[in-house]
Chain A
Amino acid sequence: MIRTRQPILSPLAGILICLAAVFALSRSMVAQGKTESACVSCHRARAESQPRTPMGRALALPGSNPVLKDIPKLTVRKGLYTYTVETVATHGGESTYSVSDGTRTITVPIHWYFGAGAQTWVLERDGQQYESAVSYYPSIPGLDFTTGDEDLKPKNLDEAIGRPIELRETKVCFGCHATNAVTNGKMTYETLRPGVTCEHCHAGTTAHLADAINGDFDSAPPDLRKKSAEDISNFCGQCHRTWETAVRNHWRGELTVRFQPYRLANSRCFDGADPRISCVACHDPHQDIVLQDSAYDAPCLACHSSSAAAASVSSTAASDKAQTHARFCPTAKSECVSCHMPKVKLPNGHLTFTDHQIRIVKPGEPFPN
């Protein structure tokens, strides 16, 4: 039997063939603009879990909206007007939004479904976009005024449809709830992909993929975990609202509980240079939000406990800070957030947020501004 070198080369060739296949697939996906699919080839766990998070589902298109799929008809009367949202399964799950004053009815198709739980719709009528006057709240479950629009006083049926939104605000809405919605400052519906995908946060993903195919990893997007707590707050705050944005706009009151970076920065313990208090110290944006209070004990105890917990934080900056111990809680050593980060209901009563202004909450105290 003639021995060839082939059996020796086969494993290597197999690996190369596999890699070539992966890269060919990635290249094809890059070419098609499906970067998040291409990301799976190297970052499988995160790329697969992230689309299932609320951020990944921040925007849905007709026919892919799980919230309304099981509720064919929603209706509510608000003042002089009756609002109805109907979803017809036979039409690919498309929904319509109607407002009626009893004599006349305006009906428009819903093109954009904003939100993974509570849902608001961006509507279009005669070339003008509107934020729907009513939204769907799972806690009711049903329709009520869109948060923040409760005080609108429509003068007629045309105004009752919702709040007109200008192009600048449209870019902000889609810029946060979708990926590649805004290119060079312009709305680009043709490149828009619903929800927050890899490229939304990891700028330069496309170039990284293209270079990685050629074995060049120098252009990998910066590791966001290496940012300071201040920088991470400002990064996440591009959508969740930075402290600076809230102050510049003079936003106060309970509605600001929605703006976690703002609330967090108001905490006495916030230190912009300490990674133990950064957004990603508690939250993995690639995973669904964790609802168990005890899950957040470790980040709290990284500061409010003996050095053992603090030393578990691995970065250099954290090590510098590890010697800084905050006061220990005399009451409990678990489920810290249940006391120190109270849940706050928005004035409409339909949405509840965790207040990220970490503090010793005194009974009966007003919402701290």
Chain B
Amino acid sequence: MYMAAVGAASTRMGINLWWNCSSRAKPGLRLTLLTLVLLSRWCAAQANPASFSDVVAKATAARDANDLPGAIELYQQALKLNSQWPDGWWFLGSLQYGTGDYAAARDALTHYLELTPNAAPALAMRGLCEFEIGDYSASLRDIERALAQGAANQPRNEKILRYHEALLLTRTGRFEDALRIYAFFTHDEDSNPELLLALGLAGLRTPLLPKELRADQQELYISAGKAVFDFMRHDLDATRAEFQQLFTRVPAVPNAHYLYGYLLYASDADGAVVEFKKELDVNPANAVAEVMLAWIPLMQNDGITALPHARKAVAEDPALPSAQLVLGRALTETGDKDGIQHLETTVQLQPDNLEVHLALTKAYSKFGRKEDARRERLLCLEMTKNDTNPTTHP
């Protein structure tokens, strides 16, 4: 799937890619590196004057003729002659990916990445290989790195990578992050059962891949996914109708009321509170519903209302970072310095979460730790400096 998308790019891979990846190096350094590469190629060619170049030519011809098994074998031969040939590892990996030999493709791409670190397309393809062979944590790591380094350079590539990223985020329990990514698909895509099922899994906070879900549960999740999809398309009437149907059909489905409340929160905080409370009626141990019931008053600096919900959230799930966050904030708001301890614990768990740093800034400031507050303030400003959006000024 991904190979087709990057096919055009792959023919220009190899030294050109390597050069592009090194383009940030200083000109002198680039020249030195290029000389070294050319020298190593020349040495390799001298060591195997006929065989290496012959094999490479044959491998290229086989690849051009779409003879995948033949090309794979020839690239393997060439790489035995010169294992420092980056293009060879790239073509071998991408050909193996194309034949569905994901484990071998991953290994070849790993060799390639050892020679050309941070090559975004290779990171992306290796991430997809890891996804296929079930190494999900490595897959998410690679795909996130690839996206950060510009692998989503074409719409088709971006869709493939973001979709897999969202699936993996769901599986690792980062449901809100997954939903944010799925929003990308609702702008110009029609709903399809595959996407709706994936949306439903993230929405109902079920850490599974679609293929891991029991067949008899799929309809329920597709229904929840449809509600999310409609919401993301700003069709609020359809969203409401979908949720009402869902609640009627399966009144006690875990996280359904939470999901509706979560979606409502931005535009109708009071409506959201009603849904979070309904969720707790159905599922009294739902820590995330308690978190949101704490979060909403905290946004109005109301720690007293938030505190019991925050305490309950932590009691239900002490390892939940957002529970520690709201407890830390609620304690701070009510003048209890213990809030700092909860926030410092949370920042260890989620060092990149702006909300934790915002809360910590406030707590340090309020309790007179001026220098710590200053440090956190500067950190928050640094975290947000590249994403200014002046048009959102009120």
Question: Which A residues lie at the B interface, using CB under 8 A?
Answer: 148, 151, 166-169, 172, 184-186, 228, 230-231, 234-235, 238, 241, 243-244, 247-253, 255, 265-266, 268, 270-274, 369
Contact = CB atoms under 8 A, between A and B. Distances in A.
Contact of B270 (A169, A186, A238, A273): A186
Contact of A168 (B267, B358, B377): B267
A166 B270 contact: no
A185 B269 contact: yes
A230 B384 CA distance: 21
Interface of B: 266-270, 300-301, 354-355, 358, 361-362, 364-368, 370, 373-374, 377, 380-381, 384-385, 387-394
Nearest to A184: B270
A244 B358 contact: yes
A204 to B, nearest CB: 13
8 contacts: A168-B266, A185-B269, A249-B392, A265-B377, A270-B365, A272-B362, A272-B364, A272-B366
B365 A230 contact: yes
A268 B374 CA distance: 8
B54 to A, nearest CB: 57
A167 B370 CA distance: 39
A228 B366 contact: yes
The 5 closest A-B pairs by CB, nearest first: A272-B365, A273-B368, A185-B270, A230-B366, A252-B388
A250 B387 contact: yes
A151 B390 CA distance: 11
B328 to A, nearest CB: 14
Contacts of B374: 268
Given A244-B361, A271-B368, 6 more contacts: A151-B391, A185-B268, A230-B365, A244-B362, A249-B389, A272-B362
A250 B269 contact: no
A251 B368 contact: no
A42 to B, nearest CB: 27
A235 B300 CA distance: 9
Contact of B390 (A172, A243, A251): A251
A119 to B, nearest CB: 17
Contact of B388 (A148, A184, A251, A271): A251
B389 A250 contact: yes
A247 B270 contact: no
Contacts of B368: 271-274
Contact of A235 (B301, B354, B362, B381): B301
Given A234-B362, A247-B380, A252-B385, A271 B370 contact: yes
Contacts of A148: 391, 393-394
Nearest to A166: B267
A250 B367 contact: no
A307 B352 CA distance: 42
Given A151-B391, A273-B368, A248 B385 contact: no
A228 B363 CA distance: 12
A248 to B, nearest CB: 7
A265 B393 contact: no
B362 to A, nearest CB: 6
Contacts of B385: 252, 369
Given A228-B366, A235-B301, A369-B385, A252 B390 contact: yes
A252 B388 CA distance: 6
Given A166-B267, A184-B270, A272-B373, A250 B388 contact: yes
Given A185-B269, A253-B390, A230 B377 contact: no
Nearest to B389: A250
Nearest to B271: A185
A255 B300 CA distance: 24
A241 B394 CA distance: 10
A273 B366 contact: yes
A169 B366 contact: no
A168 B270 CA distance: 12
Contact of B384 (A184, A247, A253): A247
A271 B389 CA distance: 28
A367 B300 CA distance: 30
A273 B354 CA distance: 23
Contacts of A272: 362, 364-368, 370, 373
B194 to A, nearest CB: 33
B377 A266 contact: yes
A55 B129 CA distance: 61
A262 to B, nearest CB: 10
Nearest to B386: A250
A273 B365 contact: yes
A95 B355 CA distance: 44
Contacts of A266: 377, 381
A185, A186, A230, A266, most chain B CB atoms within 10 A: A230
B392 A251 contact: yes
A247 B370 contact: no
A164 to B, nearest CB: 14
B358 A231 contact: no
Contact of B362 (A184, A230, A255, A369): A230
Contact of A243 (B367, B377, B393): B377
B366 A248 contact: no
A234 B394 CA distance: 17
A233 B365 CA distance: 11
Nearest to A251: B393
A274 B367 CA distance: 10
Contacts of A228: 366
A200 to B, nearest CB: 14
Contacts of A185: 268-270
A184, A249, A268, most chain B CB atoms within 10 A: A249
A42 B381 CA distance: 45
B269, B358, B368, B381, most chain A CB atoms within 10 A: B368
